[in-house]
């Protein structure tokens, strides 16, 4: 289960010493965190945000109300649009992300947040399948992706995706 592997990686990047135990529910295999302090937590975004709070790194959820809203929006985008996206719609998602990232270092602007982490996990399998030329066509997305996969502690179990920093292909192929 991809979500459970992601949560395990996230725990490691956040510096958790002991791994939490998870289960899943429903057709979507939605992750559940059984906490010893009360009701279980359900859902990738909810659990990931909870872990960030527990690790005392709330800035990963955004520093201002506006930034938190932008972070939540991309987290929702990840679980509603990217996950389970039919093959024919992947192009349009790559295009949207590429255009959005044109003038940004991170998804929430100049600060690294949980949105970068979960979107990186979510697009990893797509990026790994792109040809060199396709990666060049989505230059902003590729630059962001390469930045995040080299961000300390984030990549964990995922294989490195080769992103060339110099263009091989020239001409405006879009």
Partner 1 sequence: MSEMKLFVSDGNPHCLKVLAVAELTGVKCDICHASDDERLVPFLSHPVRPVLLLPCGQHLFKANPICLYFLEVSGRDVCDLTSQWLEWEAAELQPALMQALYQCVLLGKMTEAANTLEGHLTYMEQRLSKGATPFLAAEEATVVDIVLWAALYPLLSNSSFLPDKLQCVARWFEQVNALPVCQTVAQRVQQQKSLESLKRFLQKQPLPPARCRNAPLCN
Site for partner 1, rule CB under 8 A: 26, 28, 30, 39, 41-46, 49-50, 65-66, 68-70, 72-73, 76-77, 79-80, 83, 92, 95-96, 99-100, 102
What is the C-alpha separation between 64 and 62, in angstroms, rounded? 6
Instruction: Give the residue with the Cβ less far from partner 1, 77 or 120.
Output: 77
Instruction: Give the residue with the Cβ less far from partner 1, 49 or 113.
Output: 49
Q: How far is the CB of 59 from partner 1 (least distance, A)?
A: 15
Q: How far is the CB of 89 from partner 1 (least distance, A)?
A: 8
Instruction: Give the residue with the Cβ less far from partner 1, 35 or 156.
Output: 35
Q: How far is the CB of 159 from partner 1 (least distance, A)?
A: 27
Q: How many CB atoms lie within 10 A of CB 161?
A: 19
Which among 163, 156, 53, 157 is positioned nearest to 114, based on CA atoms? 53
Between CA 50 and CA 153, with CA 150 as vertex, the angle to 5 degrees is 40
* Location of structure tokens 């510096």: 15
Between CA 118 and CA 92, with CA 46 as vertex, the angle to 5 degrees is 40
Tally of CA atoms within 13 A in the half-sphere of 27 that contains its CB: 1
Q: How far is the CB of 162 from partner 1 (least distance, A)?
A: 26
Instruction: Give the residue with the Cβ less far from partner 1, 92 or 133.
Output: 92
Distances in Å between the Cα of 55 and the Cα atoms of 59, 96, 119, 154, 172 are 11, 32, 20, 15, 45
Q: How far is the CB of 10 from partner 1 (least distance, A)?
A: 16
Instruction: Give the residue with the Cβ less far from partner 1, 22 or 100.
Output: 100
């Amino acid at each position: 289960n991809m979500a459970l592997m992601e949560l395990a990686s996230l725990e490691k990047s956040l510096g958790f010493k002991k791994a939490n135990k998870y289960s899943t529910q429903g057709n979507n295999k939605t992750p559940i965190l059984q906490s010893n302090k009360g009701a279980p937590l359900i859902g990738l975004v909810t659990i990931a945000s909870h872990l960030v709070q527990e690790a005392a790194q709330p800035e990963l959820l955004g520093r201002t109300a506006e930034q938190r809203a932008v972070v939540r929006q991309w987290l929702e985008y990840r679980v509603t649009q990217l996950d389970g996206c039919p093959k024919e719609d992947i192009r349009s998602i790559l295009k949207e992300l590429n255009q959005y990232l044109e003038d940004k270092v991170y998804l929430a602007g100049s600060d690294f947040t949980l949105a970068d982490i979960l979107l990186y996990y979510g697009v990893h399998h797509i990026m790994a399948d792109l040809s060199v030329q396709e990666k060049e066509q989505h230059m902003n997305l590729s630059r962001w992706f390469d930045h995040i996969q080299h961000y300390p502690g984030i990549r964990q179990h995922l294989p490195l995706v080769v992103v060339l920093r110099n263009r091989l292909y020239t001409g405006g192929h879009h």
